[in-house]
Structure 1
Amino acid sequence: MNEPLVTIICLCYNHAKFLQEALDSVLAQTYSNLEVIVVDDASSDASAQVISEYVRRHPHIQFIQHHKNRGNCASFNEAFGQSRGEYIIDFATDDVLYPERVKEQVCAFQTLPQDYGVVYTDADLINEKSIFLRHFYQRSASGELVPEPAEGEVFAHVLSRYFICPPTMMIRRQVLEELNGYDLALAYEDFDFWVRSSRSWRYHYLDKVLCKRRVHIASLSQQVYKKGDRQLQSTIQVIQKAQKLVRTSVEKLALVKRVKYEARHAYFTSNYPEALQLLEILEEETSADAESRVMRWLAKKRVPLQFLRRWYHGWRYRHTSA
């Protein structure tokens, strides 16, 4: 049986110090039928030089070099537009793949019905020095995974909670074609992709650790709730899209849960206009409860209670920064 072509789209922005480990992990894949496309999005460090040396030594690597920063969504779409793979991996070049990554996920896809569009897995979280921090999914004493992965139709799940480690996903090409790739109007892609794709496609969780996700201060995931960050406004746009996609009472409850969560975090990071915008969406979906009314008053008055969030996160995440 012929192996389907898999495209690994490697997105780089100022990853020079991580590139060797990342690209070596791509080249070390045990799966042979690979297409590798690397995009450098106008890095200001030595990333382009490092990539150029890899291309010189490995001519099969396709290299797209930007001279003006275009962002992750545009960079991915450009590479996807020239890709040929039946399956796609969106790979940030500060992360690392284990050698069996592609092979294991292709094997999983080949056992699934055609309406499965995404296979995702567990991951090791590492720091800037590649030191292991913990697994993405933690296991309870009884062996249950936390957060709990979801299978099949996951639309309500992706609305209400965060349970997918983004770099672990392998995506069926048809999914991205139907979505016309990532939304260029957004500052980040994960939440929007999950919402739009899961409305029509099913997801499969493969309980294996197949990549390393790097957690560091410059990663987008660490910047979502900075004051004035574009990502928060993008989250609001995705929620507005989700409003039009909700079909059931369960999905509506999931949406309400998400909006409450985002409003709370918007407020506690001093993003008062965004908090009020989210609370307006909440009122469109359900009657305001006491918490929402209090938060609206606090946001309108711009009462600063950010120290509570800083204290909580300092206590909650202290162990992951060691």
Structure 2
Amino acid sequence: MSVDVIIPCYNYAHFLEQCVGGVLSQAVDGLRIIIIDNASTDDSVAVAKRLAERDSRIEVICHEKNLGPHASFNEGIDRASADYLMILCADDLLAEGALEPAIKAMEQTPEASFAIGAYAEIRPLEEAGSAIAESSWHMSDGLGFIRRCCSSLDPVAAHAILVRRSVQMRAGYYNPRLALCDDFELALRLAQIGHVIELSAPLAVRRIQSGSISEPAWNDRLRLLQERQAALDSFFASGRKGFPDADKIHRVGLQRIAEAAFWSAVSHLARGKSRIALKLFRYGYSLRPATMLLPPLAYLVRTNGTTKRVKAVMLEAFGRRNGAS
């Protein structure tokens, strides 16, 4: 089966060759790579053209003006003609050996809209994980996937998913009004159309690094929560028709965001960041007043990594107070 991997690029010359190399190393026939450069001011275009000269499976599209990332994402959807497509940003990496099992799983389950892997990220000075020996998978009901995404704030690896192109055409484009959670909102729309293949291993690895489009928000908890709310509001505004319990699931999603705002406010307050804590508290109160007046203890049990974060906050707060005394 054929696969188009769309690689949007803006000033990622230093990552582009590694990204493309990771795609070319996949044991997949019928593979095409479309690099869409968004008027980069570094050597991205030169790198892309050099890679295309080496391998006929690579095409390069160059924008004369910076049209924004969503223009590249959506142009990639328009240019795709294969059975499957994937949007893979130039600073991210396909996990080694991940594409073939994802395609096989999709081929075995024609009712599935897309395949998604476990969430994985690398930060500066880190290297991506080793090759995947075996990747198991299971199929989830699309509406069940949506409910799960709304009932938890655990990261969803929607930044790089393998999509059946026919389903992508039905779901439409990335929403340009969503700056950070556009991929998450699109995954919800795709899940509303069909089932979801969930791989036990990562399909792609997200690179968290200075200079990325989303970098300013990674340490801004308030903005991240607001962006997630915007994604849920957008999805449920357009996806209520034929969706049982849409209002209830939407309310649950907003409740989880309010709970996260409460505990983030507590965390910032413990670390002496009262100004940010107040903003988080006010935001959570605007969503669910009752949540901010009665500590949502159940959130701590449901959320992965809570114990580790609480310990880190306590140590930081204790160290700050000892230093002050």
Q: Residue 173 of structure 1: CA displacement?
A: 1.4
Would you tell me which structure has more strand in proportion to its own residues?
A: 1
Q: Residue 45 of structure 1: CA displacement?
A: 2.1
Contact 1:12 1:47 in 2 (8 A): yes
**Alignment identity in percent?**
21
Residue 65 (str. 1) matches residue 62 (str. 2)? yes
Residue 217 (str. 1) matches residue 205 (str. 2)? no
Residue 182 (str. 1) matches residue 138 (str. 2)? no
- 2:272 aligned residue: none
- Give unmatched runs, 5+ long, in structure 1: 136-148, 293-307, 316-322
Residue 199 (str. 1) matches residue 185 (str. 2)? no
Q: 1:190 to 1:291 in 2, by over 3 A?
A: farther
Q: 1:182 to 1:243 in 2, by over 3 A?
A: closer
Greater mean deviation of Cα atoms: 195-204 or 250-259: 250-259
Partners of 2:113 and 2:87 in 1: CA distance: 14
Residue 159 (str. 1) matches residue 153 (str. 2)? no
SS in 1 for 2:148: helix
Q: Residue 128 of structure 1: CA displacement?
A: 3.2
- 1:128 aligned residue: 124
- 1:30 aligned residue: 27
Q: Residue 51 of structure 1: CA displacement?
A: 0.8
Q: 1:45 to 1:168 in 2, by over 3 A?
A: same
Q: 1:231 to 1:134 in 2, by over 3 A?
A: farther
Q: Residue 260 of structure 1: CA displacement?
A: 0.9
Q: Residue 119 of structure 1: CA displacement?
A: 0.9
Contact 2:229 2:254 in 1 (8 A): no
Q: Residue 164 of structure 1: CA displacement?
A: 2.4
SS in 2 for 1:218: coil
Contact 1:71 1:187 in 2 (8 A): no
Partners of 1:174 and 1:232 in 2: CA distance: 32
Partners of 1:86 and 1:257 in 2: CA distance: 38
Q: Residue 55 of structure 1: CA displacement?
A: 1.8
Partners of 1:167 and 1:289 in 2: CA distance: 31
Q: Residue 223 of structure 1: CA displacement?
A: 3.4
Q: Given residue 47 of structure 1, which amino acid in structure 2 is its aligned partner? A: S
Q: Could you state the TM-score of these two structures normalised by the residue count of structure 2?
A: 0.71
Greater mean deviation of Cα atoms: 189-198 or 241-250: 241-250
Q: How many residues align?
A: 282
Residue 86 (str. 1) matches residue 67 (str. 2)? no
Q: Residue 163 of structure 1: CA displacement?
A: 4.0
Q: Residue 78 of structure 1: CA displacement?
A: 0.8
- 1:20 aligned residue: 17
- 2:253 aligned residue: 255
Greater mean deviation of Cα atoms: 55-64 or 220-229: 220-229
Q: Given residue 26 of structure 1, which amino acid in structure 2 is its aligned partner? A: V
Greater mean deviation of Cα atoms: 165-174 or 270-279: 270-279
RMSD over equivalenced CA pairs, Å: 3.8
Q: 1:85 to 1:278 in 2, by over 3 A?
A: farther
Contact 2:222 2:280 in 1 (8 A): no
- 1:104 aligned residue: 101
Q: 1:15 to 1:42 in 2, by over 3 A?
A: same
Deviations 1:27-64 (A, max 9, x none): 22211101211111222322121112112222432212
Q: Residue 91 of structure 1: CA displacement?
A: 0.6
Q: 1:212 to 1:235 in 2, by over 3 A?
A: closer
Partners of 1:51 and 1:229 in 2: CA distance: 37
From 172, 193, 215, the equivalent of 2:164 is: 172
Q: Given residue 70 of structure 1, which amino acid in structure 2 is its aligned partner? A: L
- 1:312 aligned residue: 313
Q: 1:227 to 1:94 in 2, by over 3 A?
A: closer
Contact 2:159 2:183 in 1 (8 A): no
Partners of 2:88 and 2:99 in 1: CA distance: 12
Q: Residue 222 of structure 1: CA displacement?
A: 4.2
Deviations 1:146-175 (A, max 9, x none): xxx983231111123234223452111133
Q: 1:196 to 1:275 in 2, by over 3 A?
A: farther
Q: Residue 270 of structure 1: CA displacement?
A: 3.9
